[in-house]
Structure 1
């Protein structure tokens, strides 16, 4: 969603994602005992001929715990901690399904020495917010606890590591708390396992995972197996699998590695497993399934197919030989995917297709091909997809095709050498945990680039063709998903698959080689009229003769990385009230090429360059944004200005959008989160059509290519242009690049005035939305109108602290005490450019019968804060996490990009930057109490409820009459 009034709800899972998607919860806890570690050893590289990165300090404690520690000063003063336990869903017995994930939750519910919730509160006092900085996840193979600490002093690190150690060794598993947390886990399960996801999982289990233990394990468990988890049995599960020899501790950050090793030794060295070590489960191996066809029909589903070629996983550490083989596979799939793009542009039954490979330890290696289908034309789409595949398998593969993909991969590896020097500690820590998960190793980025460079001569057409033949050699397994049952059933699908496998691919279309000058002819550079630096913050401001403004902030947070944003016009607020325009067609614009250059031609031009970007219409501007590097920043701006100067709309792309529109609408109604996100937002803007997320079907059907082109020609051709550049760049080079592109355009027509939307009026009854998903699930969201960010900055910051406190108290009360939801959400958002338009939303996904309980809990929290203000510890924890987040933001490019996107001529913005940290420190309990009184306790909220649609009824939106102000 492009609006700043974001609705923060749980994301839905894509089809088949449950197989590998982690289940997340929370995090924490301790116990000393010290013993000297064994000599340092890079245990991760055992059995590999790939050299280890010397930046890592690795070793094994006498009790078997492995550790990996690395100094990294990005962001400065922060430390990322990960603790991976080799215990996931595959370690569960038949009647223990879901217990690894349930235990992950219970680890946060206290130990004999730390009461329930104290670990989270301790970390909050250290500045780590729950959910984003402290969390955990469970997969088939492991449970990983995560903590991103915004402090690196010895005391904070001792507290954090000690708490985590206590949690791993001494989880209490209190029976009373277990009963509550079980409800939370069931709520999480319901939120993630939508009816469609459940259908796909059940239909594909015996087809895609035949022979594997994973086919008989549910990561989320079942209501029956979760009900069977008593405190005693869950403790036994903990004793069995939570053992030091099954633990890996990863720490990266701004700290002394030797001191951290001492700290790990002190806190974890006395940890001892209870009883004999468990044996590894029999993970199984892929076997021929009884049927190779899986079928799912669901009214909320888009028409699509997935083919899978399954082989046993190659076990063992990564070696140079295996890495070269994976490079070759990647190039082969990149060539194939480019051909799928070219085929889809012909406007046939296949809307899009893409192939990829997944290599999962203890599971299988799977090459998959996903195909999106136009309407009910699945047989024709399947034949088209196989035509492309068979043509590639038959060969020959063109050297130019290979060269394009080799250049792209080489450039990515080259850039990673520089960018890795400033990777955030969390990224590095997550990377090493992933290496452990996949039996990979962790060499330097230079090693990967050198290995690929040496391999390039061997990436020949014959080698690529051989790689494709190997990957697609097994007999395929097939999943078809459709909104209605397939006529003829499984027999018809199997026959269609065998017919499609014999399809002959046509000749590969010749792709011209286009140059940048052909796509974006050189312009006469514009002249710089004035420069207005804001020296206090290192911001450069340049205005060109045509009125285009350039704002730059040079940083060293991310080497070789530059963010570019071009803001054009005045966005949705610059239009007449209640006007709906085809902003939904931005994807059509970007998929249509530039002028006479087609997307495949542009893809070849872009090979080895970072010149891709996105386009979105936001409330205050139409925005082109992309990430690039010092070498390509000028070319990125040339491509951007070419799109802005001459928007191109391909009628075939318009038809593709129309073909996928109905399916997209169906999928929205499949879960309450997406219904809330799509249909509640316009209501929060007073039902102003300018802010409609989903266009009506008649608008999509009635808007042709000419109308779409006229729309984007006008939108991109009028109003001010502001270019912002943040990152690792050369100042003079950026000025020259902007002068030769947007600074060279003719003067712009005057922009329309911005018109603030009308705020929603409260209603006596809730706004009712319906969904067609799980009938046991609903969402309630309570919305109060607040204020804009610069209108009253202290009040805005106090509201943000109040938001954090309300979130924390809802989590503590409605989730942790009542077990009423998995994840309550509270957000405070403001409409850029208007001082008195903001919205605070508080809500939760829950069962319909818990809506009243949620409202009651929320009302009690608001009433208490309005009467008494926050308790001292509540305020301290909310402020420390806000300050920690602010400090990290200042050390990243995203903050500065947001700053440059605002009005730098407004003195209030400069004041907000000066007080970014101090203003948060200054917030008092009285400040919080006062804003809660003014905006929440005395405000009249608009309540939105997303309920299951009555059986047999279509989803509807009921908008009650507003109450009089």
Structure 2
């Protein structure tokens, strides 16, 4: 089960509508259109989505039911509980989260682990599909299942009913789960947790929230009496605090009848305790705290200014939310621009007004400082805030940002008929838990469309001034121990505020370009041949310059076009001396402008366009990937042409990239996970520079001109490129762009192939132990490497082996031995430069447990080698594959990947049409055979991370 991170230093800021909160109401469409035209009527309550069936049973239980056919034959169910860790007593710390776990370990109709077993047999993936989370104020259970199976649908509802009130909570299962949660707790330990424990009381103003982290305490989890958990369950899992949300391809009326039948008998406790809304009090003072840790790898500062929460109930509130969102977008864009300068004052920075916690909103500004340069970063951030306070924004910034919001609104509306059920579920979930408005697609579109033009730049600036105050302000600093001496005191920080305020700050200049992206329109080429690929409803075109283009028009989205292109070669064609420049070339070009526009000009040019094209260089290929809508197709193809014919690496971008790379290297050796990963890669590949993390010396070897020259070399010949285009277009719509911008690309007919660099793992396995870190925890990684017989059925058998091993390892290491929070097997294969495979099992656990768990892992592997998988576990794999394929074949990104990968590997792009037949060829014996051929102990590598040795 996943646990929501209750709070972090840099709070996640909501989107324009993410923080909105409202009460359900009903309103006619005619009233709504008048509503936003007359400012006097803006105080009317926002309309509730009338396309969802809602109800409230006599016992207080609520429900939301909606029909939605995206995806077809699927339904998503959520059980929401207004029950979280803030309701715990001192004797119940961590029990809200513990109870969430227990709802997967024995229910009235699904004793012990029968729930997970049953749903896996139906193709539901534990963790990916079947899941839950616990927060301060809520616990939420989720179950997406097929709706075309009447029995499965009926039992899915029964699961929700059992989750609502019928957990068995046996002594045996409680005791087994203690170890699992202790391992989850152990896995969360580290620098972030240790610093969080220090700054949370300050950020949360010493409210109850600071002492109610959902994970609880080790002492509580180990020692709480069974009765405490049962009492918590009985007191708080009750119908007046619960709601069921069901969205999918269902009969709404029939579903409502079943909900009424199943949930009407939920009982209230004899003496229900009042569910009070807890808050974080405002102290009307400023606070300061600097915390350090030896394993922290960077220095981060945050300014948090707390305000009473502004709930969104009316149209006027919604409009104010838009003003905040526009402010956030414009100011963050300025900070991003500053961060791309030749000598960036910080590594990263962002600002936003949004939700906080406990009845508060907050103005949050944070930055990541360069090593030993906290003052520089702090003043640069505050300077930008002051610049806006003094001069506001430019009209061009404002219009550009509003245009981007309008574009987003239009895009959402165009895709409304393809909107996924999960999106609706989340809207209704927030409506129940937080009172957020649940607007219909039509209402959301019309309200935003009519409100956005009413916004003014002066209002946006005024909102910023309301929130950027010098009271209820927290300054929190997190840093490595070795930065402690250079960190400021509270007095110094206050002095810096005053110094920046007295500076002669000048107004921001919005630099835009009127130049077109390309200096000239390229001369057209032609399409020389066309070949149908009827099995997958696609077409292969060959252009006059040799470029191949595979087109697959679809109706999976109303206006989404995905583009991918590749050519063989990549960095493998360059010497070790050139490697660092080659490896960074794609990112450096991608971070720069293109054609006639520099980086900043290009970013502004792209604002309001639903287009993105990214060039890359990998080890064996170079290419591009991206997306567009129909309106942006010309821009997308101009960008593609520009990256081939007019790429650039700007001085500022290069210098900024190098500065940031060096800064991030400084403290990374203090991170146990980095040290572990580095040691693993160095031992496997003898320190080969193409496999280990880049060093400071490596960064120094990146040459700007050489990187650009390498990029140009890789894109100088389009003749061996293959483009795959999938989405909502017709062949006739796309052809003119192919002729104008792709067929015109240069062609040298080089016929290159990537080079085999001979970088492989050793033939004989070994064990390596790395000591790093102060926490008493261990990480074990067991991997088999070796040669492989790459093939369609062989790959399926290896994937089946991965699946059945994962099932057995969870059953053994987690459920039976309570030794891990999570574990799995993971298989990878490669066809080029030669057939290779790996199979990895990894888990985190206690130092005292890892050896025993490694032995248990090997025991489960040997069982599969000796007996093969159980027929039941193999069938779970097969049904999951079938069910996932039903969904995948209706996604543009799936087809883009399938087709492009097939061409890269010189395989049949129609294979997916035969996939299910091959799946039937996978048997207990074939998986057993694969296990014995590849899981050879001679090729097993064991890597273990342990804490620092006591000296």
TM, length-normalised to structure 1: 0.89
CA–CA distance in structure 2, aligned partners of residues 210 and 905 of structure 1 = 56
CA contact (8 A) 2:768 2:944 kept: yes
The answer to whether the 8 Å contact 2:303/2:366 transfers is yes
**Is the 1:212–1:363 contact (alpha carbons within 8 Å) kept by the matching residues of 2?**
no
- For residues 315-360 of structure 1, give each alpha carbon's deviation from its aligned partner in whole angstroms, at most 9, with x where no partner exists: 4x53211110000111112111222223333324233321123314
1:831 is displaced (CA, Å) by: 1.9
Specify the alignment match of 2:40 in structure 1.
none
Pairing 1:339-350 to 2, within 5 Å after superposition: 339-346=334-341, 347-350=343-346
Shift of 1:591: 2.6
Residue ranges of structure 2 left out of the alignment (5+ in a row) = 14-21, 27-42
The equivalent residue for 2:8 is 16
**Pairwise CA distance, 1:544:** 0.9
The Cα of 1:579 is off from its aligned counterpart by 7.6
Distance change in 2, residues 1:496/1:592 (3 Å) = farther
Note if 1:581 corresponds to 2:580: yes
Does structure 1 retain, via aligned residues, the 8 Å contact 2:620–2:754? no
Aligned position for 1:357: 353
Q: Check conservation: 2:83, 2:236, Cα contact below 8 A.
A: yes
Partner of 2:845: 846
Q: Report what 1:58 is aligned to.
A: 54
Per the alignment, residue 732 of structure 2 pairs with 732
Q: How many matched pairs? A: 919
1:381 aligns with 2:377: yes
Higher alpha-carbon deviation: 805-814 or 9-18 = 9-18
Alignment of 1:314-713 (within 5 A): 314-315=310-311, 318-346=313-341, 347-360=343-356, 362-475=358-471, 476-483=473-480, 484-487=483-486, 490-500=489-499, 502=501, 504=503, 506-515=505-514, 517-519=516-518, 521-572=520-571, 580-582=579-581, 583-584=583-584, 586-595=586-595, 597-665=597-665, 680=680, 686=685, 689=688, 691-692=690-691, 694-713=693-712
**Matches of 1:746 and 1:596, distance apart in 2:** 19
Distance 2:695 2:584 in 1: 11
Instruction: Tell me the equivalent position of 1:785.
Output: 785
8 A Cα contact 2:524 2:739, kept in partner: yes
Aligned to 1:721: 721
Pick aligned residue for 1:156 from 152, 156, 166: 152
Worse overlay, 554-563 or 860-869: 554-563
Q: Give matches, 1:752-771, under 5 Å.
A: 752-755=753-756, 757-763=758-764, 765-771=766-772
Distance 2:779 2:875 in 1: 30
- 1:84 touches 1:143 (CA, 8 Å); kept in 2? yes
Task: State whether residues 383 and 503 of structure 1, in contact with CA within 8 Å, keep that contact through their aligned partners in structure 2.
Answer: no
- 1:847-862 matched pairs, under 5 angstroms: 847-862=846-861
- CA separation of 1:328 and 1:545: change in aligned 2, threshold 3 A: same
- In 2: Cα distance, 1:679 partner to 1:78 partner: 45
Give the aligned partner of residue 208 of structure 2.
Answer: 213
Q: Which moved more, 1:524-533 or 1:45-54?
A: 45-54
Alignment partner, residue 38 of structure 2: none
Distance 1:338 1:648, change over 3 A: same
Q: Does 1:288 align with 2:294?
A: no
Q: Is the 8 A contact 1:349 1:378 kept in 2?
A: no
Paired with 2:600 and 2:610, the residues of 1 have a C-alpha distance of: 16
CA distances 1:179-203 after superposition (whole Å, capped 9, x unpaired): 22122112212223x4221233123
Q: Distance in 2 between the 1:827 and 1:386 partners?
A: 46
Residue aligned with 1:147, SS: strand
Is the Cα contact below 8 Å between 1:53 and 1:444 reproduced in 2?
yes
- Equivalent residue, structure 2, for 1:872: 871
Equivalent positions of 1:103-122 (< 5 A) are 103-122=99-118
Offset at residue 844 of structure 1 (A) = 0.8
Where 1:248 maps in the other structure, the secondary structure is strand
CA contact (8 A) 2:644 2:745 kept: no
Distance 1:907 1:395, change over 3 A: closer
Take 1:473 and 1:185, find their aligned partners in 2: how far apart are those partners? 42
Structure 1 vs Structure 2 CA RMSD? 3.0
> 1:780 offset after TM fit, Å?
1.3
> Structure 1: which 5+ residue stretches go unaligned?
1-8, 22-41, 953-965
State the distance in 2 between where 1:269 and 1:322 align.
Answer: 36
- SS of corresponding position for 2:244: strand
Asked if the contact 1:615/1:624 (under 8 Å) is kept, the reply is: yes
Name the SS of the counterpart of 2:69 in structure 1. Answer: coil
Mapped to 1, the partners of 2:851 and 2:590 lie a distance apart of: 46
User: Separation in 2 of the partners of 1:51 and 1:61?
Assistant: 23
Alpha-carbon distance change, 466 to 90 in structure 1, aligned in 2, over 3 angstroms: same
How many Å apart are 1:615 and its aligned residue?
Answer: 4.2
CA distance in 2, matches of 1:170, 1:667: 50
8 Å Cα contact 1:568/1:721 also seen in 2: yes
